């Protein structure tokens, strides 16, 4: 395999990992506090649309600032969706699996509705430009692949140590873990279980919004109906796969993005496998990965259980 | 019947397992094997009926979903207003499209048919507290198997071919539900995630087959290369009930199956165990029910019914396999089942309602240029509001149940 192809595969693998990372790290916070948010895919779609719509209409006047504005709006839209989810699943104590699917359908419909009314046809934006990091980007093969990416991509990878720091080295992280592990105990020590869960689900929503925008503004650079195609669900699976830890999620995201990237190159290089079947690969790998219970013991004990005082 | 003390009666009313055991003593093994209802004396039946036919409760359980729809329509109206569309006009177009003509009504029933079939499967799965999101994939597998089978065995006699096609489609969908079932039972794989992944896998298999071996030869010779199959033989087409409309006999099949599922869930031992698993996992395990087996069974049956929805769609409406064969029924079916209170009979009117919503939205899109994706916004909101209100419904139910037991006790004491 020549080095150009290798660089190409790594470059796109890193880019593909970006939405996975934002969405899965966000979902990790949500799940560590005990709330499964299955609506990630829907939130990503709304975020992707919001970011794209703003960028499309402002880059003419604002230039690259329009992209940043789009990213901020996407985060805000994601935050609102997260807030909606927390009202339903924390305050109203709804079954989280079903409400997540409801949120997914809502996000899918809303993004498609708004897209068809306000944009109509598939358009593209220039998107975030790659920013080469001096010296490092000159390393052969991996240099241009790892260190010549856009800011949004770097941000996703910086999010991993940041998430680790928040979880393991701050009081907030301790509270999140306590609420997810033993809400009754946390409650008895004066931690507001619902408030912690609200914050976590909202942060998760915000990151899912950014994940969507990272696709529509940085990696795919367009918006269409169902742009994410179930990527948000893979992100949820990554949280299980990564054992609810940032590093595990990073490894999982890289694994899946590499498979996706390989599958794309297989199509381009015409290996002889039907491209329609090759697309299935990441999804099948997800199922297989979930079969190995390496990390199941790490699952937050109160996952998927609404908290109510006086119930164990 | 011999003298029954008060606690027996109360336990019998509130605890079906206990009631099963009593009938075991009266009728022997046969009744339970046949899944017949346990023998109950007229006195107890009267009190039971009193508990069941509490009109307040029925009104309450009907009010919540209707409120959810009103809320969803209100939020939808706000979104439409923001987009510069008059929501009243849009909703009026929707209602007249769905209910204003024979065409609209028959089309709604035709759309309700796959929704009901999917919803029946969802009822079984959700009752066993397994969340099956995989109906989309299961529909595809059912439709795929039905098309391939009827094309391959077109020489069989009509009635045999139709029956076998339906069975094969059911089996194919059931297989697609069995996979997440066995993965959950054997490896503890979260069924929500595995079913979502299997949806994508099924969609890709369909696409690959439609572009390959199953592609219509006419499309190849004409050079259009449309991703669709040949027409299935005319002998398997489900007869249209009203000529010139989409309404076909599959609607009857679906309604009959709804009754079958009701009997299965509430009048057989297996159905009882499935519901017991959903009501309390730990208690069921303690009572000796093999929880993982019953959850697997529930997922398999759910897959089968979704597969049947795919069969009915091919044989009744499209007459060939198309790329978009599911039309999102896998998701709207979930909403219909939830809306019907996860009750097979409740799913009948709920499916009709959502069938009308889908038809109305299509008509609205044509009349008002409002994209029909609005339906998904409404469906999503309805799901959120329905599950959001369930907690308070549950709370109310427990409060009332505790008062009911005391009334029954008084009743028995005076009798």
Domains and CATH numbers, chain B: 86-369 (1.10.3470)
Per-residue model confidence as pLDDT tens digits over A166-216: 999 999 999 999 999 999 999 999 999 999 999 999 999 999 999 999 999
Estimate to the nearest angstrom the gap between the alpha carbon of B132 and the chain centroid: 11
Per-residue model confidence as pLDDT tens digits over A64-79: 888 999 999 999 999 9
Beta strands, E only, B166-265 = none
Percent over 90 (pLDDT), chain B: 50
Contact residues, chain B, for A103 at CB < 8 Å: 380, 384
Question: Which residues partner with A222 through β-bridges?
Answer: A124
In a domain? residue A36: yes
pLDDT at A289 > cutoff 90:
no
Residue B51 burial (10 A CB sphere; 0-12, 13-18, 19+): middle
pLDDT at B414 > cutoff 90:
no
| φ and ψ at residue A215, rounded to 5 degrees | -75, -50
3-state secondary structure of A149: strand
Of the candidates B184, B292, B201, the one whose C-alpha atom is nearest the C-alpha of residue A293 is B184
CA dihedral A299, A300, A306, A312 (to 10 degrees): 110
Kind plus residue range of the DSSP H or E element containing B216: none
Confidence class of residue B27 from pLDDT cuts 50, 70 and 90? very low
Contact residues, chain A, for B391 at CB < 8 Å: 92-94, 306
In a domain? residue A182: yes
Can you tell me the distance from the alpha carbon of B387 to that of B88, in angstroms, rounded to the nearest whole number?
27
In a domain? residue A20: no
pLDDT at A129 > cutoff 70:
yes
**Cα–Cα distances in angstroms (integers) from residue A50 to residues A122, A221, B29, in the given order:** 15, 13, 63
In a domain? residue A294: no
In a domain? residue A289: no
Residue B21: its pLDDT value, please? 46
| Mean pLDDT across chain B | 84
Q: How many CB atoms neighbour CB A142 within 10 A?
A: 16
Tokens representing B168? 């094969």
Q: Which of residues 56-95 of A touch B (CB under 8 A)?
A: 84, 87-88, 92-95
Kind plus residue range of the DSSP H or E element containing B356: helix B347-368
Q: Domain tally for chain A? A: 1
Nearest CB neighbour to B192, from listed A94, A97, A229: A97
Tokens representing A74? 């996407």
In a domain? residue A259: no
Contact B183 A103 (CB under 8 A): no
DSSP A73-128: HHHHHHHHHHHHHHIIIIIS---HHHHHHHHHHHHHHHHHHHHHHHT-S--B---P
Of the candidates A293, A305, A268, the one whose C-alpha atom is nearest the C-alpha of residue A5 is A268
Residue of B nearest to A289 (CA): B189
**Cα–Cα distances in angstroms (integers) from residue B239 to residues A286, B152, B254, in the given order:** 42, 21, 15
Question: Which residues partner with B348 through β-bridges?
Answer: none
Kind plus residue range of the DSSP H or E element containing A132: strand A131-132
Q: Please report the ipTM that was assigned to this predicted complex.
A: 0.92
Residue B2: its pLDDT value, please? 43
pTM: 0.86
- Cα of A280 to nearest chain B Cα, Å: 5
Range of the domain at A59: 25-234
Can you tell me the distance from the alpha carbon of A12 to that of A106, in angstroms, rounded to the nearest whole number?
30
In a domain? residue A220: yes
Residue B336: its pLDDT value, please? 92
The dihedral through the CA atoms of B146, B151, B152, B157 has a sign that is positive
pLDDT at B44 > cutoff 70:
no
pLDDT at A8 > cutoff 50:
yes
Residue given tokens 């919803």 in the structure block: B119
Residue of B nearest to A240 (CA): B190
Can you tell me the distance from the alpha carbon of B266 to that of B287, in angstroms, rounded to the nearest whole number?
18
pLDDT at B32 > cutoff 50:
no
Per-residue model confidence as pLDDT tens digits over B366-379: 888 888 889 999 99
In a domain? residue A141: yes
Nearby residues of B376 by Cβ (< 8 Å), 6 or more positions away = A105, A106, A108, A109, A110, A112, A113, B328, B331
């Amino acid at each position: 395999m020549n080095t150009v192809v290798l660089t190409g595969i790594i470059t796109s693998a890193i880019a593909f990992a970006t939405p996975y990372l934002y969405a899965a790290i966000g979902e990790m916070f949500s799940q560590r506090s005990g709330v499964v948010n299955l609506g990630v895919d829907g939130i990503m779609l709304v975020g992707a649309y919001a970011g794209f719509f703003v960028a499309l209409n402002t880059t003419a006047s604002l230039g690259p600032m329009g992209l940043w504005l789009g990213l901020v709006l996407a985060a805000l839209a994601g935050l609102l969706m997260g807030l909606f989810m927390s009202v339903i699943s924390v305050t109203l104590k709804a079954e989280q699996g079903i409400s997540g699917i409801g949120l997914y359908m809502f996000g899918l419909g809303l993004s498609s509705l708004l897209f068809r009314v306000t944009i109509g046809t598939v358009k593209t934006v220039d998107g975030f430009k790659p920013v080469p990091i001096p010296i490092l980007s000159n390393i052969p093969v991996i240099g241009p692949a790892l260190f010549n990416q856009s800011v949004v991509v770097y941000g996703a990878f910086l999010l991993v140590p940041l998430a680790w720091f928040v979880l393991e080295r701050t009081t907030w992280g301790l509270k999140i873990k306590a609420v997810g592990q033993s809400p009754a105990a946390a409650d008895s020590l004066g931690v507001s279980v619902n408030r912690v869960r609200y914050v976590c689900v909202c942060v998760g929503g915000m990151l899912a919004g950014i994940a969507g925008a990272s696709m529509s503004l940085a990696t795919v650079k367009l918006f269409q109906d169902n742009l994410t195609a179930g990527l948000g669900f893979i992100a949820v699976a990554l949280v299980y796969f990564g054992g609810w830890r940032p590093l595990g999620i990073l490894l999982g995201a890289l694994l899946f993005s590499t498979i996706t990237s390989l599958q794309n190159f297989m199509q381009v290089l015409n290996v002889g496998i039907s491209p329609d079947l090759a697309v299935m690969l990441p999804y099948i790998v997800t199922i297989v990965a979930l079969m190995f219970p390496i990390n199941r013991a790490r699952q937050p004990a109160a996952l998927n259980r609404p908290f109510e005082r006086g119930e164990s | 019947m011999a003298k029954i003390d008060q606690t027996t009666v109360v336990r019998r009313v509130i605890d079906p397992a206990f009631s099963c055991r009593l009938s075991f003593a009266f009728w022997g093994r046969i009744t339970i094997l046949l899944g017949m209802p346990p023998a109950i004396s007229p006195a107890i039946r009267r009190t039971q009926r009193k508990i069941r036919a509490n009109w307040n409760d029925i009104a309450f359980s009907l009010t919540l979903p209707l409120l959810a729809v009103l809320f969803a329509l209100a939020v939808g109206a706000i979104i439409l207003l923001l987009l510069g569309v008059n929501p009243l006009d849009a909703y009026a177009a929707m209602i007249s499209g769905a209910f204003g003509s024979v065409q609209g009504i028959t089309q709604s029933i035709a759309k309700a048919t796959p929704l009901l079939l999917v919803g029946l499967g969802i009822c079984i799965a959700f009752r066993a507290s397994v969340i099956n999101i995989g109906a989309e994939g299961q529909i595809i597998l059912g439709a795929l198997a039905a098309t391939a089978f009827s094309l391959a065995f077109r020489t069989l006699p009509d009635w045999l071919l139709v029956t076998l096609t339906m069975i094969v489609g059911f089996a194919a969908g059931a297989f697609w539900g069995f996979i997440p079932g066995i993965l959950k039972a054997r490896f503890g794989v979260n069924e929500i995630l595995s079913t979502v992944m299997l949806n994508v896998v099924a969609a890709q298999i369909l696409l690959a087959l439609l572009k390959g071996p199953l592609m219509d030869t006419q499309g190849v010779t004409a050079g259009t290369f449309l991703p669709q199959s040949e027409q299935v033989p005319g002998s398997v087409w489900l007869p249209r009930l009203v000529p010139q409309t989409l309404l076909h006999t599959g609607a009857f099949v679906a309604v009959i199956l709804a009754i079958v599922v009701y009997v299965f869930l509430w009048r057989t031992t297996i159905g009882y165990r499935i519901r017991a698993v959903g009501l309390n996992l730990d208690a069921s395990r303690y009572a000796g029910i093999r929880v993982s087996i019953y959850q697997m069974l529930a997922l398999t049956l759910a897959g089968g019914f979704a597969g049947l929805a795919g069969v009915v769609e091919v044989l009744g409406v499209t007459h060939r396999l198309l790329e978009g064969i599911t039309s999102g029924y896998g998701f709207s079916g979930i909403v219909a089942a939830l809306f019907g209170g996860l009750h097979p009979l409740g799913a009948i009117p709920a499916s009709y309602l959502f069938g009308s919503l889908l038809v109305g939205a299509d008509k609205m899109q044509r009349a008002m240029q409002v994209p029909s994706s609005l339906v998904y916004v409404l469906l999503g909101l309805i799901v959120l509001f329905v599950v959001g209100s369930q907690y308070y419904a549950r709370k109310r139910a427990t409060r009332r149940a505790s008062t009911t037991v005391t009334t029954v006790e008084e009743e028995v004491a005076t009798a």
